[in-house]
């Protein structure tokens, strides 16, 4: 397995170089180019533009600019963010904790609920519960993220939830924050948790639908295999057979989808973070895109591409743990 891992990592190097060339070319030739943030200044002159081109090395051939950027990127110098007036690494590091918090919580919640829904739907096929899970999955996959987010904001933040306790005069008013990570800079755990509820709900909806459908389909195939019938013939408990023998083998397709979703844990959710004003990498990328912050866009996109390659390797290695029949020759 070690030789296989080393070989895959060596193969990833030319792949990442090829991806970075494509990204660099696209961003370099976008309208305005790397100097787009400076071109918005109405007082800038042609002499200023020529001086900026020379200072940033933009008067050199494109391939020379790329090689210069690549060498600096490998050394850890990801450039200067014009909109944050700081280095790209500092801008990303500042937003990374908020993104990991939001995306990590939503991933854990969706995995727990989605796997549970999928397993129960598989062991009770065509039951009322199975129909409920299937309907919920289609609902989650077809629900537009931006519309669902705004709907939750109106229901729980703008209007709030109000209800009266039966047979009493007590009235409960419940509302949730509509945006931000904390109410104040020194917000505590409870305050942060209240701000997490709405964005986590939005992000978890489609993920729960995905995990439940994949788990149900994979689990149903496993339930009809010979080794499951053999385990039952040995007198093992039903749920022990399901979790010990069935779930481990049924997780292989889920691992593939999970590996593709994990880079999003670092990359953030562009629409959700923007709507809820969550100070994460998704919102940072959206702002960098609107302001054409070349260095920040390159640093972010290459980082996400690198994570996709790495997590696909992790998924391939996980197959060997889930299924001993998988050999890495």
Q: Tell me the domain boundaries of the chain.
A: 95-322
DSSP string, 150-202: HHHIIIIIIS-EEEE-TTSS-EEEE----SSS-SSTT--HHHHHHHHHHHHHH
pLDDT tens, per residue, the chain with 329 residues: 778 788 888 888 999 999 999 999 988 888 777 777 777 777 888 888 888 888 878 888 888 999 999 999 999 889 888 888 899 999 999 999 999 999 999 999 999 999 999 999 988 888 899 899 989 888 888 888 888 899 888 888 887 766 666 666 666 667 788 888 787 666 677 888 888 989 999 989 888 988 888 888 888 888 888 888 888 888 888 888 888 778 877 887 777 778 878 887 787 788 888 889 888 898 899 888 888 888 899 999 999 999 888 888 888 777 777 666 666 66
Which architecture does CATH list for 95-322?
Orthogonal Bundle (1.10)
Residue 112, pLDDT score: 92
Q: What is the pTM of this model?
A: 0.83
Could you tell me if 24 and 317 are in contact, meaning their C-beta atoms sit under 8 angstroms apart? no
Sign (positive/negative) of CA torsion 270, 271, 272, 274? positive
Could you tell me if 99 and 268 are in contact, meaning their C-beta atoms sit under 8 angstroms apart? yes
Residue 87, pLDDT score: 92
Residue 323, pLDDT score: 66
| Residues ≥6 apart with Cβ < 8 Å to 183 | 177, 191, 195
| Residues ≥6 apart with Cβ < 8 Å to 91 | 81, 84, 284, 296
């Amino acid at each position: 397995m070690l030789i296989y891992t080393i070989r895959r990592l060596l193969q990833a190097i030319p792949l990442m170089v090829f991806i970075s060339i494509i990204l660099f070319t696209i961003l370099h030739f976008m309208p305005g180019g790397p100097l787009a943030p400076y071109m918005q200044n109405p007082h800038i002159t042609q002499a200023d533009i020529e001086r900026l081109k020379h200072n940033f090395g933009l008067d050199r051939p494109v391939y020379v600019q790329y090689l210069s950027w690549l060498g600096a990127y490998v050394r850890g110098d990801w450039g200067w963010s014009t909109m944050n007036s700081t280095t790209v690494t500092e801008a990303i590091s500042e937003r990374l904790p908020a993104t990991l918090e939001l995306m990590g919580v939503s991933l854990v919640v969706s995995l727990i609920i989605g796997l549970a829904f999928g397993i129960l739907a598989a062991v009770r096929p065509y039951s009322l519960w199975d129909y409920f899970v299937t309907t919920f999955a289609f609902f989650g996959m077809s629900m537009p993220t931006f519309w669902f987010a705004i709907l939750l904001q109106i229901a729980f933040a703008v209007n709030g939830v109000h209800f009266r306790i039966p047979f009493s005069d007590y009235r409960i008013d419940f509302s949730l924050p509509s945006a931000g990570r904390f109410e104040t800079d020194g917000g505590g755990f409870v305050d942060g948790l209240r701000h997490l509820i709405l964005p986590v709900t939005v992000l978890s909806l489609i993920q729960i639908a995905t995990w439940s459908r994949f788990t149900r389909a994979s689990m149903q195939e496993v339930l009809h295999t010979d080794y499951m019938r053999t385990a039952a013939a040995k007198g093992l408990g039903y749920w022990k057979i399901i979790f010990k023998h069935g779930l481990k083998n049924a997780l292989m397709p889920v691992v593939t989808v999970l590996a593709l979703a994990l880079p999003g844990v670092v990359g953030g959710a562009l629409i959700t973070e923007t709507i809820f004003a969550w100070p994460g990498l998704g919102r940072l990328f959206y702002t960098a895109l609107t302001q054409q912050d070349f260095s920040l866009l390159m640093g972010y996109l290459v980082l996400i591409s690198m994570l996709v390659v790495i997590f696909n390797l992790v998924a391939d290695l996980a197959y060997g743990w889930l299924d001993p029949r998988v050999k890495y020759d």
